[in-house]
Amino acid sequence: MTDPDVDRAIDAVWRIESPKLIAGLTRIVRDVGLAEDLAQDALVAALEQWPESGVPAKPGAWLMATAKHHAIDRLRRDERLERKHQEIGREMEVQEGQQEGDDLLRLVFISCHPILAPEARVALTLRLLASLTTEEIARAFLVPVSTIAQRIVRAKRTLTEARVPFEVPSGPELDARLSSVLQVIYLVFNEGYSATAGDDLLRAGLCEDALRLGRILAGLAPKEPEVHGLVALMEIQASRTRARVGASGEMVLLLDQDRGRWDQLLIRRGLAALERAEQLGGALGPYALQAAIAACHARARTAAETDWSRIVALYDALAEVTPSAVVELNRAVAVAMAFGPAAGLELVDALRSEPALAMYHFLPSARGDLLAKLGRHDEARAEFERAAALTQNARERELLLDRAAASSRGDAS
């Protein structure tokens, strides 16, 4: 095996094993920052030894044993932590893999702890659970590497100073913490699915990382319906990825997409996850309701067959669970599709004074679409141009300016 082959093997092993490695070490040392340092020490050892000795049959176990030895060496240098040294010695006797699932779940809840700012939760989650480097996270979110590095360092310091316990919360705290976890995973997915800035509409790697995290969480918390709801939502949305971008990289709207390019495997997985959420009983939560809306599109063979009346009813339920101006805007669009553009425009116009939508480019975009369908082309052009000025994504801006030009020609679209 050549050195490049070994390097690729080590990289693949690290992507798979590092979350479990860091989770297990955090249980032992009770410090996520120290746990990551120890995991990195083990990686360095692998990079030094595996090119000569070859990749071991059980690379994850090798990394964990190496990291534990490094932990003992570090802690031996501090007599005040002798008791912790003894704890690690006992941990060495635990069969590998016995607590992997529990440890990973605890690490998820630590990475997404509400004590951290949302952007810090995202960065730490991608670092610890998606195994992304600081450079990869910075590139994905179009921010300086130093900014991401500072967020990660501060997040780990905050968790250490607050003595956040390495545990899965229970009772009311579980609901609050689970909401934070799901929010972080969906934020990562959305940034990949509809990049907020830059030249690319999609960042497929982030979608894949979020899906992987969601699937892991569903395996670790199989009785939480909203976890399955989020997975269903992401699977179905991800199924459209290939159809969302045209041959020249241009954005293709949902109703104009070639549904033959939708990934049927992801759709089946999404519908199965939605069914699991529904079978667990109780009222559907916000992610499951959004997944049910996505399922209406997935089940329609053509755009014309979409059950818009059901989508309106689902948005009604979503507005009850999580009332927001964005939900109301989406509901208005669904009403327009179900009952005509005039009915939708009346609802959209009622939202124009909402402070939460002041800089939201989808508001003028939706209004422009409805005005164009009503033949009010000059007003539609102005709305599309306003939306184009608000978005920071180059592909979306191109589409909106194209629609503005079409409105100037009097083309309803």
Distance CA 112, CA 114 (A): 6
Question: What's the average model confidence in pLDDT over 286-290?
Answer: 97
Any idea where the domains of the chain sit in the sequence?
A: 3-100
Q: For residue 149, what are the CA distances in angstroms to 154, 245, 321?
A: 9, 32, 36
197 in helix, strand or coil? Answer: strand
pLDDT of residue 296: 97
pLDDT for res 27 = 83
Handedness of CA 31, 36, 37, 42 (dihedral sign): positive
Stretch among 85-89, 256-260, 364-368 having the lowest mean pLDDT: 85-89
14-18, 231-235, 266-270, 276-280: lowest mean pLDDT where? 14-18
Give the per-residue pLDDT at 225: 95
DSSP conformational letter for 198 = E
Q: With 70 as the cut, is the pLDDT of residue 92 above it?
A: no
pLDDT score of 394 more than 60: yes
Average pLDDT rounded to a whole number, residues 106-127: 88
pLDDT, position 388: 95
Predicted TM-score of the model (pTM): 0.75
pLDDT at 205: 79
Confidence (pLDDT) at 100: 57
Averaged pLDDT for residues 237-242: 94
Q: Which residues of 4-33 are buried (b: 16+ CB within 10 A; e: fewer)?
A: eebeebbeebbeebbbbbbbbbbbbbbbbb
Q: Which residue has the tokens 């590139």?
A: 139
How large is the average pLDDT for residues 329-352?
Answer: 97
Query: In the predicted model, what is the mean pLDDT of residues 382-388?
Result: 96
The two structure tokens encoding residue 309: 């009346």
Higher local confidence (pLDDT), 79 or 214: 214
Residue 234 has pLDDT above 90, yes or no: yes
Mean local confidence (pLDDT), 170-180: 80
Mean residue pLDDT across the chain: 86
Work out the pLDDT band at 98, boundaries 50, 70, 90.
very low
Interatomic CA distance for residues 401 and 413, integer angstroms: 13
Residue 201 has pLDDT above 70, yes or no: no
Which range is least confidently modeled, 22-26, 74-78, 165-169? 74-78
Query: In whole angstroms, what is the distance from residue 221 CA to residue 369 CA?
Result: 41
Answer whether residue 8 shows pLDDT above 70: yes
Mean pLDDT of 203-207: 80
Per-residue exposure over 81-107, b if at least 16 CB sit within 10 Å of its own CB, e if not: eeebbebbeebeeeeeeebbeebbbbb
What is the per-residue pLDDT for 93? 45
Percent of the chain at pLDDT > 70 equals 90
On the question of pLDDT at 89 being above 90, the answer is no
Whether the per-residue pLDDT at 94 is higher than 50: the answer is: no
Instruction: Look at residue 400 and give its three-state secondary structure.
Output: helix
The larger pLDDT score, comparing residue 62 to residue 408, is at 62
Residue 160 has pLDDT above 50, yes or no: yes
Asked if residue 265 has pLDDT above 90, the reply is yes
As a whole number, mean pLDDT of residues 86-110 equals: 62
The residue with greater pLDDT, 287 or 167, is: 287
- Average the pLDDT over 268-278 and give the result: 97
Quick one: angle between helices 286-299 and 264-279, nearest 10?
140
CA distance 376 to 390: 22
